[in-house]
């Protein structure tokens, strides 16, 4: 009589049981992320995440306009296809390079490390990484950033922090974007703040509109303070 195998270990005919490689993949990613930090000791690196259409690129454009002459910024833009977002940034004078992921739903650290050879960061104070629009996969990948900022548009609904908790748990700042649409959508800022802080009690929150300019002064001041802190080798919580 043969000993029965646990059903959880049984494979269909012709299938091969493989080791779960997710943990090893993330370990390799973390190794490259450290190499990025070592390579950019004097540049503040911010990983900007969100769902598609939350206003990341428009915020980068407005940031570049408002801080021109005060802050030297560069942007690495991730998208599955096209160079449209990088072109939009270069059109307003921002040093930008597109990373085309070829269908991948996130950026990995090795993509950033390779891109550093193709963008001039001489004198740059802050490097933004505009991640692929996605609240799931990007949350798992350290890109060598100092800070992670997640945008949540009012058009998305206010239930996202608890539906996608890892993204908000790993973010230092949540930016509620498209505040000008609040009168027209069923979105409660107080609810999304409460849910985000249930997930991550330390998360900071800003509410902005890149269309009307609401909250952009606070955003720029937050950014300038973080750049100054990085120059002193301390990133405040």
Do the Cβ atoms of 48 and 151 come closer than 8 Å?
Answer: yes
Q: Which secondary structure element, helix H or strand E, spans residue 175, and what is its range? A: strand 173-177
With CA atoms as reference, report the closest residue to 215 among 160, 173, 155. 173
Span 18-66, pLDDT tens digits = 344 455 778 889 999 999 999 999 999 999 999 999 999 999 999 999 9
pTM exceeding the 0.75 threshold for the entire prediction? yes
Cβ atoms within 10 Å of 13's Cβ, excluding its own: 4
Span 159-195, pLDDT tens digits = 999 999 999 999 999 999 999 999 999 999 999 999 9
Span 112-136, pLDDT tens digits = 999 999 999 999 999 999 998 899 9
With CA atoms as reference, report the closest residue to 129 among 31, 48, 53, 37. 48
Name the token pair of 193. 């703040």
Spell out the domains of the chain, with CATH numbers in brackets. Answer: 43-231 (3.40.50.300)
What is residue 83's predicted lDDT score, i.e. its pLDDT? 84
């Amino acid at each position: 009589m043969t000993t029965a195998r646990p059903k959880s270990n049984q494979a269909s005919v012709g299938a091969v049981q493989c080791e779960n490689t997710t943990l090893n993949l993330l370990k390799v990613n973390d190794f490259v992320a450290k190499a990025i930090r070592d390579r950019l000791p004097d540049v503040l690196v911010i990983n900007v995440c969100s769902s598609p259409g939350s206003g990341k690129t428009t915020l980068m454009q407005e940031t570049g306009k408002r801080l021109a002459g005060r802050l030297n910024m560069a942007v690495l833009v991730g998208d599955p296809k096209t160079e449209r977002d990088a072109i939009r940034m270069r059109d307003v004078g921002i040093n930008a390079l597109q990373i085309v992921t070829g269908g991948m739903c996130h950026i990995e650290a090795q993509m950033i490390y390779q891109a550093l050879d193709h963008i001039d960061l001489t004198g740059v104070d802050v490097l933004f990484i505009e991640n692929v629009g996605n609240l799931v996969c990007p949350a798992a990948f350290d890109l060598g950033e100092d800070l992670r900022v997640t945008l949540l548009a009012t058009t998305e609904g206010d239930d996202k922090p608890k539906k996608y908790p890892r993204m908000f748990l790993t973010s230092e700042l949540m930016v509620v974007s498209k505040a000008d649409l609040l009168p027209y959508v069923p979105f409660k800022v107080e609810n999304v703040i409460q849910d985000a802080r249930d997930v991550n009690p330390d998360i900071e929150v800003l509410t902005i509109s890149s269309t009307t300019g609401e909250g952009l002064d606070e955003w720029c001041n937050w950014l300038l303070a973080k750049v100054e802190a990085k120059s002193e080798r301390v990133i405040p919580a």
